[in-house]
């Protein structure tokens, strides 16, 4: 099991038992959002466009279609749940 899963479980338990002060949750939440953005950018920068171009249009359309479906589902759930 990867080490970060143990860290996640430890931090989740610490938060659940009130061991992390409420004042720390704001900055920690901001930092978590920042790290998510950095990790998504790193994934995007790791894509080799030449390989993507060589796989053909069927794969490109399948990926684009699946992303469109995920986007639609996300927007619907955001509207239904009133998030944002």
Question: Quick one: average pLDDT of 73-78?
Answer: 95
Q: How confident is the model at residue 14 (pLDDT cuts 50, 70, 90)?
A: very high
- pLDDT band of residue 72 (cuts 50, 70, 90) is very high
Q: Do residues 78 and 84 lie in contact, with contact meaning Cβ atoms separated by under 8 Å?
A: yes
Distance separating alpha carbons of residues 38 and 44, to the nearest angstrom: 10
Average of per-residue pLDDT values in the chain: 90
Identity of the highest mean pLDDT range in 14-23, 35-44, 64-73: 64-73
Average pLDDT over residues 49-78: 90
In this prediction the pTM is 0.51
Q: Report the C-alpha gap between 79 and 40 in whole angstroms.
A: 24
Burial of 20 (0-12, 13-18, 19+ CB in 10 A): middle
**DSSP structural state of residue 55:** T
């Amino acid at each position: 099991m990867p080490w970060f899963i143990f860290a996640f479980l430890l931090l989740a338990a610490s938060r659940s038992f009130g061991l992390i002060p409420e004042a720390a949750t704001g900055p920690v939440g901001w930092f978590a959002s920042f790290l998510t953005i950095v990790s998504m950018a790193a994934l995007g920068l790791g894509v080799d466009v030449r390989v993507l171009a060589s796989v053909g249009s069927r794969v490109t359309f399948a990926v684009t279609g699946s992303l469109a479906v995920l986007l639609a589902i996300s927007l619907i759930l955001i509207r239904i749940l009133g998030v944002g």
